[in-house]
Structure 1
Amino acid sequence: MSDNVVPMKRTGEATPSLSPILSLTATAMNSVNQVILDRMQSEIPLIPALAGHLISGGGKRMRPMLTLAGAQVVGYQGTRHHKLAAAVEFIHTATLLHDDVVDGSETRRGKSAANIVFGNPATVLVGDFLFSRAFELMVEDGSLKVLKILSSASAVIAQGEVDQLTAQRRIETSEERYLDIVGAKTAALFAAASRIAAVVAEREDAAERALDDYGRNLGIAFQLVDDAIDYDTGTADMGKDRGDDFREGKMTLPVILAYARGDEEERRFWQDAIAGFRIDDADFAHAVALIRRHDCISATRERARHFAQRACDALSIFPDGAARRAMVEAAQFAVSRGY
């Protein structure tokens, strides 16, 4: 075991990439993808068609990758985590399907969202189907502890989404509440996906806590950067409509900071925009200009960097090696990415 702090970034290093963690988990991910393909099937043709529309549409597979990488960092040699990683991806996919219905999203991962192609009722119901498949996989694993971790995470995610809904179009939303929402709707599944690797490996509580801390802090960093990208016109396309958060009246950190730092006229604009009265393209362009004026993208990424460093530090109890280095670089990538 090592008790050193794990450095997240060193001068002169190449731009962080997901390549190390992709390479690390490639063989196991093939098994996970086969489970996903098998378990999304149904005698009702609409179910695999709709599920496949999203699942086959790309995405980083970050959450199941954390389960696979976590298993390597704790030295697990078995295969139980393959089905559990698939369960994690089903939970995530189900939440995306439900989110797109709630938000009225038109695109997802660069193509029409499932709710646009198949309609809201079918999208919600197939999301429910994927949740059910996830729980079947957990039960098949047979670990009550794993079941508790993933089922608790599912409940927390739902609560976070409801909390975000109640905060929508409320200009008074604080940074503290925003981080609470992010911790629930995004970071909870990152944490659970990471932690279960230590559970199936029957490692000590300290290893569980370390992987939980890694995933939770990485998840917060990941969401902070997502929220920055929505207002950063200098980044690559995210695969969704830029400005969605703005038009939906979501109080994300760039907006919270711009509102706090703005003068009276700017604050009136934000009040009208978040209330839903200033949502056309010119209004979004003005919002981006205000966020740039007050350096809110950099400030949001700096906060993300803080959480990513905490994620890296959590790994310090594990020996140095390819798995730990890949997980550290994944945290670096989460902060530096433009998509």
Structure 2
Amino acid sequence: MNEEGISVLQQFIDEEITKNLAKQLNSAIEGLESPTKDRIREFILSTKGKQLRPALIAVTTKLLIQDTESQESRLARAYKFAIVIELLHNMTLIHDDLIDNAPIRRGKDAFHIRHGTDRALHDVDVLHAYALTLIKDDPAGLKLVLDYAYQVGLGNAIELEDRLDQNFDFEMSRVIKIMEYKTAVVFAGCVRLGCLAANREDLFTEALNKAIIAAGIAFQIQDDYLDILGNPEEFGKMQFWDIQESKRNLFLHFSMRTEHSTKIKEIYNKDIGQKNKEDIDIVLKVFQSIQEKVKEVRDQYAKLAIDGLKSIQANINKDDYQAEELIDFLLILSKYLIERSK
């Protein structure tokens, strides 16, 4: 997305939302006990990402609130959901880096590298349980969070089993399902939580869910693409790590349908972190040759997302300007997620 598009997106995710999220996040971290609190604070603040997930909840609620009298209480509920999602997201980052033995997270040493495996395991357990206690008195919100957290865990489990079993005979649908569970359902869940906080669950239709899921899948395909072919200075992650960890993605799927499949299997069966520069160069050359196939699938899901949102937009009650604003925002956000370079 160009600078103009990003500027439009920032009109929705404004300074007020950014400041409130930071304030609420700091307050939530303070509720932890030291030294876990100190390590978690350092990790979240020093490796701070785009925080799109919590912002998505807050913006959705803010756009949908219909009366000023309930605005404060509804936004307070939205921010609580947002912080829970952000804490759980950071928990999964620490956990995934540990499982993958990834040395770097956003240009810095990964949590388990800085603090050791034992502390990393302990801290993610504490953070997971603590995050859920923040909404223990909100049954509807807690149920949604648990449902989506389960799907994220299931996606991670499927991906891990395929890697450990050295499974190369997988269909594209399996890769897409992993992306849906690990990434896309969280984006959909954030919009649904925002609708819940605004008392507008009627807007979260199956059509909207499908459109956001499609955008989330396109987002993850773009993420995989940037890991292989993006600018490492812009991307902010350790380039080619998906190759090092033998990640099951569309690049691997399509490479198994080339004459180089045997060599790719040989390289991918090496332990994480044991692939040398020659291995990376061989895989990279094959992946570069099939990048158009990957981009084609990405663009298919991007089109599903945009067309789905436009269809919803065309059928919205014109008196419901809050719903119109939400769909406008989701269209802009979807384009950003898909076209981003970092």
Q: Same fold (TM over 0.5)?
A: yes
Task: Give, as a single letter, the amino acid of the residue that structure 2 aligns with 1:328.
Answer: L
Q: 1:46 aligns with which of 35, 54, 58?
A: 35
Q: Which residue of 2 aligns with 1:284?
A: 280
Task: Quote the Cα distance in structure 1 between the aligned partners of 2:5 and 2:40.
Answer: 28
1:36 aligns to what?
Answer: 25
SS at match of 1:230: helix
CA displacement, residues 15-65 of structure 1 (integer Å, 9 cap, x when unaligned)? 674443333233123222212111112564321222123311221111111
How far is 1:163 from its partner? 0.8
Query: Which of 68, 80, 83 lines up with 1:83 in the alignment?
Result: 80
Matched ranges for 1:44-123 at <5 A: 44-56=33-45, 57-75=47-65, 77=71, 78-79=74-75, 80-123=77-120
The equivalent of 1:145 in structure 2 is 140
Displacement after TM superposition at 1:211 (Å): 4.9
| 1:198 to 1:176, Cα distance in 2 relative to 1, 3 A | same
Q: Choose between structure 1 and 2 for higher RCO, CA contacts under 8 A separated by at least 6 residues.
A: 1
Residue in 2 aligned with 1:267? 261
Q: Distance in 2 between matches of 1:300 and 1:273?
A: 25
How many residues matched? Answer: 322
Q: Residue 321 of structure 1: CA displacement?
A: 5.6
1:136 equivalent among 133, 138, 160: 133
Change (3 A) 1:23 1:54: farther
Which secondary structure does the structure 1 equivalent of 2:228 belong to?
coil
Matched-pair contact (CA < 8 Å) for 1:183–1:219: yes
| Alpha-carbon distance in 1 for matches of 2:213, 2:307 | 9
**Whole-Å Cα distance in 2 between the matches of residues 289 and 220 of structure 1?**
25
State the shift of 1:288 in Å.
1.6
Identity %: 20
The equivalences for 1:1-339 within 5 A come to 14=2, 17-26=5-14, 27-41=16-30, 44-56=33-45, 57-75=47-65, 77=71, 78-79=74-75, 80-140=77-137, 142=138, 144-168=139-163, 169-209=166-206, 211-234=208-231, 236-260=233-257, 262-263=258-259, 266-276=260-270, 279-294=275-290, 295-309=292-306, 312-313=309-310, 316=313, 319=321, 323-339=326-342
Distance, in Å, in 2 between the alignment partners of 1:121 and 1:68 is 35
State the 1:310 CA deviation: 5.1
Shift of 1:187: 1.6
Partner Cα separation in structure 2 for residue 16 and residue 124 of structure 1? 42
CA distance in 1, matches of 2:151, 2:231: 33
When the two chains are superposed, the root-mean-square deviation of aligned CA atoms in Å is 2.5
Deviation at 1:216, TM superposition (A): 2.3
1:299 CA displacement: 2.9
Question: Partner residue of 1:8?
Answer: none
Structure 1: 4+ residue segments shifted above 6 A = none
1:187 and 1:215 in contact (8 A); partners too = yes
Check whether the contact 1:24–1:323 (CA below 8 A) recurs between aligned residues: no
Change (3 A) 1:300 1:212: closer
For residues 6 and 208 of structure 2, what CA distance do their matches in structure 1 show? 18
CA contact (8 A) 2:208 2:309 kept: no
Distance 1:307 1:99 in 2: 29
Q: Hey, what's the Cα distance between the residues in 2 that align with 1:147 and 1:197?
A: 13
For residues 31 and 104 of structure 1, the distance between their equivalents in structure 2, rounded to whole angstroms, comes to 34
Give, in whole Å, the separation in 1 of the partners of 2:55 and 2:31: 26
Distance 1:323 1:204 in 2: 13
CA distance in 2, matches of 1:126, 1:272: 36
The CA distance in 2 between the partners of 1:307 and 1:273, in whole Å, is 35
Q: Do the aligned partners of 1:21 and 1:69 also contact (CA within 8 Å) in 2?
A: no
Distance 1:208 1:312, change over 3 A: closer
Q: Which runs of 5+ in 1 are unaligned?
A: 1-12
Quick check: 2:62–2:198 contact (8 Å CA) kept in 1? no
**Cα offset, 1:234, TM superposition:** 4.8
Q: Distance in 1 between matches of 2:112 and 2:330?
A: 34
Judged with a 3 Å threshold, the aligned counterparts in structure 2 of structure 1 residues 247 and 204 are, in CA distance, closer, same or farther, namely closer
- Which string of whole-angstrom CA distances, capped at 9 and with x for unpartnered residues, describes residues 299-334 of structure 1? 353244235425634752554765543321221111
